Structure 1
Amino acid sequence: MTNRVLDTIMERAEEIRELGPVNERLGRLDDKAAKVLRDSGVIRMLQPEAHGGMEAHPREFAEAVMGIAALDGSTGWVAGIVGLHPWEMAMADPKVQEEIWGGDPDTWIASPYAPMGVARPVDGGYVFSGRWQFSSGTDHCDWIFLGGLLGDEDGRPVEPFQGLHLVLPRSDYEIVEGSWEVAGLKGTGSKDVIVRDAFVPDYRVLRFAKVVDGTAPREAGLTNPTYLVPFSCAFPLGITSAVIGMAEGVLAHHMAYQRDRVQIVGTRVKDDPYVLYAMSEAAEEIAASRTRLLDFASRMYDKAAAGEEISFGERAAGRRLQVRSAWRAARAVNELVIRSGGNAMRVDNPIQRFWRDVHVGLAHAIHVPGAVYHVSALTDLDIEPPEGPMRSMI
């Protein structure tokens, strides 16, 4: 199947490439880079058709994100993060969907989902406050998904904790300028946001547990398999795809740079069997990461389309696959970069920017291996993992 969005991206590849250093200097996506994403349609790939979206196959979305990230890490990261939000918004009340997309189907929604705020119940909704980090692409978004905890009448989180995803318009939160001073992915503009006693009506709130267990899309009457794949497959997909795409970008720049390079000892790289060996091994590791991730997305889609239940064990194995794919690609990048020579570290060489971007992307909570590996190993042993935080990312 032809991926029309990816084809459009490739037509503007040079423009995206050239804007990479500009994004980094600005500390957010340049307006031109954001316009390329809007024009390509990548942010609408998982959006409901009723609101101008494509309801595309998750694999196609991942391929598009990889293609963008291989051109510029920050642009690919924003595509992967912001492009996922319409997937969950499809499960929300039609009223909030109309508020967001009724006037413009190209309206973007930011996040993060981390439960860093508390929602105090009041008549008709909640009073919500908190501060969140890492709101990628937020300067170009007019709405936001924010993670919160259900509170009591005094604003204290109730126990056991109950997670919420609350949807707010741009007028209800503050973007904190100067809060994204980082080593990599600088162009994502992943700034802090603050909410102070904002009223959020009931219809703009989703229960996180229902999103995770697949209840939310079914209650919303969604039938397209894209929306029935597990949250633990869909949400990490844009993030891991971006990291793999960045690794592909390193590989492409490394190959172009090494083709005519002469090492300080006078040996041409093309005549050095040790460097050539490492290049081939890294290329295959990155390709394996790509294949595994795309295969998983396709398998989850096919199971959802067939109406088959996707077990907790399958979800856990999928999360393990995502984490390992990102780490495998990043380690391959390291093998390339340490053989690229000192000039690869100059600021005008894109290799060093991609290298930094890959490692900041790897630091995302989605890619932390500990609990994921622990839980997936237990399920492989037919041992039920304990309830609690260990299961939360699965």
Structure 2
Amino acid sequence: MTITTVSDVLTTRADELRALASVNEELGKLSDETVQIMRESGVMKLLAPVEYGGTRAHPVEFAETVMKLASLDGSAGWVAGVVGVHPWELELMSPKLQEEIWGESDEVWVSSPYAPMGTATPVEGGYRFSGHWQFSTGTDHSDWVILGAFLGDSEGKPVQPPRFLHVVVPRKDYTIIDDSWNVVGLKGTGSKDVVIDDVFVPEYRALDQAELFAGEVARKAGKTEPIHRLPFYSIFPVGLTSAVIGIAEGALQAHMDYQRERVQINGFKSVEDPYTMYAVSEAAGEISASRDTLLASINRLYDTVAAGGEISLEQRAVARRTQIQAAWRATNAIDMILSRSGGNGLRLNNPVQRFWRDAHMGLAHAIHVPGPSYHGAILTEIGVEPAANLVWAV
């Protein structure tokens, strides 16, 4: 399925997706109707293996599709941006695991998170695994989960210095905490807690995070496609930032629809108010610039590996800074929009306020924390080797 087909489906079903956004928010997870539209569109298969119905699409195509979906429903776009990246990583793992996940149905979703909120203790043939994770986006509609873990020692305590794993677990081995997602924004993502209590995980369902970040996992798997030669932190953040930008585009469109007929308290139409229109136009320019800079950055990285080159630490770091800045820039633009919406812009039946809440929730994700990434980026440009904690952030 090509990006044109995906976009066509989303465009055709746009009114339905917009209408379902408030339903998803009320449910605290995506509705079955929204999930079905997403499945029909193919958005979740853009980065999936071709052997299981995927397309291994260009990351720009993935980003643009996530933006489109997020502009209709922020929560649906966020789920696509997070869960839609996981097939990229799973294709680097054991073929046996891929067959377990997608062998019977290539529609299976795999959730996360990657934060090491559990410990995997080595035993014969694999690991004993326990933990409690927050923020498992889209977990209600997923049949597997990728979880971050500390590697444990013989006593089950994290080894020192810490080593991190990504561990893949089937739905029967974890519990979803249903009442654990009570938040201000992105309510429809259903990003609930999951718990695992002393489960055995075969060795082939885990991989070393450091090897993944360094590209060793892709090399060992014999993956030479450009999409798999991108560093983890050059592909994983793309979906999340694309969702934030798409949310900003949705906010802008909803705001313009609202302002078109709005009459201000002084009796003037908003479209006749040069101050309001200036601010809205400035916000529109900021959102457009956010989109363009993110996509250009992705293209530069992809073109480098497609031409047979290697991505340097400086390139990685600058791309991460660009990605983070794009999210902040787009969200700041939504603030400008909301401040020109008047009291009616904050009514719960006005989608502008939901987009505003969704964007700020997305900006709070750890992938959008600017400090370490900005620090690491400027050090590489100055020619100073960043410390390990900064390198990790890029």
Classify the TM-score, shorter chain. Answer: over 0.9
Q: State the Cα distance separating 1:393 from its structure 2 match.
A: 2.4
> Partner of 1:260 in structure 2?
261
The within-5 A match list for 1:136-285 is 136-285=137-286
Amino acid at match of 2:41: S
Amino acid at match of 2:234: C
Amino acid at match of 1:303: T
1:86 pairs with 2:87: yes
Q: State the Cα distance separating 1:351 from its structure 2 match.
A: 0.7
> Partner of 2:47 in structure 1?
46
CA distance in 2: counterparts of 1:239 and 1:128, whole angstroms: 28
CA distance in 1: counterparts of 2:393 and 2:124, whole angstroms: 32
CA distance in 2: counterparts of 1:168 and 1:98, whole angstroms: 14
Local SS of the residue matching 2:261: coil
Q: Which moved more, 1:31-40 or 1:137-146?
A: 31-40
CA distance in 2: counterparts of 1:337 and 1:301, whole angstroms: 36
CA distance in 2: counterparts of 1:212 and 1:180, whole angstroms: 30
Local SS of the residue matching 2:93: coil
> Partner of 1:6 in structure 2?
7
What is the TM-score normalised by the length of structure 2? 0.98
Gaps in structure 2 of 5+ consecutive residues: none
Amino acid at match of 1:387: A
User: Contact 2:169–2:205 (CA<8 Å) still a contact in 1?
Assistant: yes
Amino acid at match of 1:118: T
Local SS of the residue matching 1:16: helix
> Partner of 2:321 in structure 1?
320
User: Contact 1:278–1:335 (CA<8 Å) still a contact in 2?
Assistant: yes
Amino acid at match of 2:112: S
Alignment deviations for residues 164-222 of structure 1 (CA, whole Å, 9 cap, x no partner): 00000001110001000000000000000001001110000111111111111121111
CA distance in 1: counterparts of 2:178 and 2:386, whole angstroms: 41
CA distance in 2: counterparts of 1:272 and 1:348, whole angstroms: 24
User: Contact 2:3–2:65 (CA<8 Å) still a contact in 1?
Assistant: no
Structure 1 moving runs of 4+ over 3 Å:
none
User: Contact 1:3–1:60 (CA<8 Å) still a contact in 2?
Assistant: no
Amino acid at match of 1:129: S
Amino acid at match of 1:392: W
Q: State the Cα distance separating 1:91 from its structure 2 match.
A: 0.3
> Partner of 1:288 in structure 2?
289
CA distance in 1: counterparts of 2:3 and 2:129, whole angstroms: 44
> Partner of 2:298 in structure 1?
297
Local SS of the residue matching 1:212: helix
Local SS of the residue matching 2:132: strand
1:65 pairs with 2:66: yes
Amino acid at match of 2:108: T
Q: State the Cα distance separating 1:3 from its structure 2 match.
A: 2.9
Alignment deviations for residues 301-360 of structure 1 (CA, whole Å, 9 cap, x no partner): 111111101011110101100110000000010001100110011111111111100000
> Partner of 1:391 in structure 2?
391
CA distance in 1: counterparts of 2:388 and 2:351, whole angstroms: 44
Q: State the Cα distance separating 1:160 from its structure 2 match.
A: 1.1
Give the alignment's Cα RMSD to 1 decimal: 0.9
Q: Which moved more, 1:260-269 or 1:116-125?
A: 260-269
